[in-house]
Amino acid sequence: MSTREIPIRDALQEAMSEEMRRDERVFLVGEEVGAYNGAYKCSRGMLDEFGSKRVIDAPIAENGFTGAGIGAAMMGLRPIVEFMTFNFSLVAIDQIINTAAKARLMSAGQLECPIVFRGAGGAAYQLGAQHANSFEHYYAYTPGLIVICPSTPYDMKGLLKSAIRNDNPVVFFESELTYSLKGPVPEEEYLIPIGKADIKRAGSDVTLLTWSKNVFLALQTAEKIQKEDGISVEVIDLRTLRPLDKETIFQSVAKTNRVVILQEMHQVASYGAYLGHLIASEMFDHLDAPVELISSLETPMPYSKALEELILPSEDKIRESVQRALQ
């Protein structure tokens, strides 16, 4: 397989374009996806290639175009709905949770809703409180949805292609901070199965569970800890929050007996809290220490850099948690 280094925005564009070439039913709708090439340039060139029938610029009306995507999915199309950022999905969350996620159950399988909702989630640099939400768990909480939070360009492309081919509503989180991040992506077509975690760094002393862009923070910190403290951290990229790959997590915990969970959301009622419960209840006999959970502080995100840094997870916080887990 020949590979090349491409940024995440191109990996996403390739995934969408390949699937649109493969399947006439796939189309892209969202704000600025057409002539503007996407607010973060993830749909560069797509309007030119596919035309305005299949790359549809929408007014700023998230409930509207999300609901329209769902209606089109129910009629047999396979829409990709782009949110400029997931912060704006909150005005469409009713359509995602009450319409898309429940159509199949409420109709006893008569309605299918094959649709992907994708866009940037989480904090970036100094976006202020309303543009820095991390709430993957709002969607991961909802039966009927699939929730994917990849990190690398390779995973982004392979998982987005699988998401587009999936017959369920899929919520797909990207990150503003990593759209330019480059990584190896094969020239040839490939898919990554939904619901499989990936061990991004093998280790033996402690299991570090994370997803999305925090995978990079975890890997970077793990290297330092190895070098400076001689501690071997296994970094698992969950990649999919619903369905969760329990097997990969439990195998790692059985090996290391110590767990640190790293998330960007707040701790109260969060996904990490669920993971902690799951591990504590199902892997209790394997644990040598309480499960550590690193989260953002319980405050809306202020603007100032000085404060933002205090609130978000950091190398120091990971290091402290790893050390506590090893005590």
Partner 1 sequence: MDQELITDLFRQMLRIRRFEEEAARLYTERKIGGFLHLYIGQEAVAVGALSVLEKTDEVITAYRCHGHYLLRGGNARAGMSELLGKETGCAKGRGGSMHFYDVKNHFHGGWGIVGAQLPVAAGMALAKKYQGTKDVTLCFLGDGAVNIGSFHEGLSLAAVWKLPVIYIIENNQYAMGTPLEKTAPTEDLSIRAMGYPMASDIADGHDVFDVRAKVHTAVRRAREQSLPTLLEVKTYRYRGHSMADPGKYRTKEMLEKEKEKDPIKALGAKLDSLRLNQLREQIEQEIEEEIRDAVEFAEQAPFPAPETVMDYIYAE
**Site map 162..201 versus partner 1, x via CB under 8 A:** ----xxx---------------------------------
The least CB distance from residue 325 to partner 1, in Å, is: 34
Contact window for partner 1 (CB under 8 A) among 101-109, 201-209, 226-234, 319-327: 101-109
CA atoms of 63 and 81, how far apart (whole Å): 11
Cis previous bond, 300, omega within 30: no
303-318: b or e for each residue (b if 16 or more CB lie within 10 Å)? Answer: eeeeebeebbbeeebb
Q: Judged by CB under 8 A, does residue 94 bind partner 1?
A: yes
In the range 103-142, which residues lie near partner 1 by CB under 8 A?
104-112, 114
Query: What is the DSSP-derived secondary structure letter of residue 171?
Result: E
* Residue selected from 1, 2, 76, 285 as contacting partner 1 according to rule CB under 8 A: 76
Residue 307, amino acid: L
CA atoms of 148 and 106, how far apart (whole Å): 24
The least CB distance from residue 166 to partner 1, in Å, is: 8
DSSP 191-206: ---TT--EEEE--SSE
The least CB distance from residue 225 to partner 1, in Å, is: 39
The least CB distance from residue 304 to partner 1, in Å, is: 33
Q: CB-side exposure of 273: number of CA atoms within 13 Å?
A: 11
Nearby residues of 59 by Cβ (< 8 Å), 6 or more positions away: 31, 65
The least CB distance from residue 144 to partner 1, in Å, is: 6
Give the chain's count of helices (H) and strands (E).
12, 14
286 is catalytic: no
* Residue selected from 75, 254, 297, 310 as contacting partner 1 according to rule CB under 8 A: 75
Residue 163, amino acid: A
The H-or-E segment that residue 165 falls in is helix 153-165
Q: Judged by CB under 8 A, does residue 91 bind partner 1?
A: yes
The H-or-E segment that residue 58 falls in is none
Name the active-site residue from 62, 174, 264, 292. Answer: 62
Q: Judged by CB under 8 A, does residue 69 bind partner 1?
A: yes
131 is catalytic: yes
* Residue selected from 37, 43, 85, 95 as contacting partner 1 according to rule CB under 8 A: 95
Of 239, 156, 229, the C-alpha closest to 196 is 239
Name the active-site residue from 18, 32, 112, 131. Answer: 131
User: In the complex, which residues of this chain contact partner 1 (CB under 8 A)?
Assistant: 27, 53, 56, 58-59, 61, 63-77, 79, 91, 94-95, 98-99, 104-112, 114, 143-144, 146, 166-168
Where in the sequence numbering do the catalytic residues fall?
Answer: 62, 131
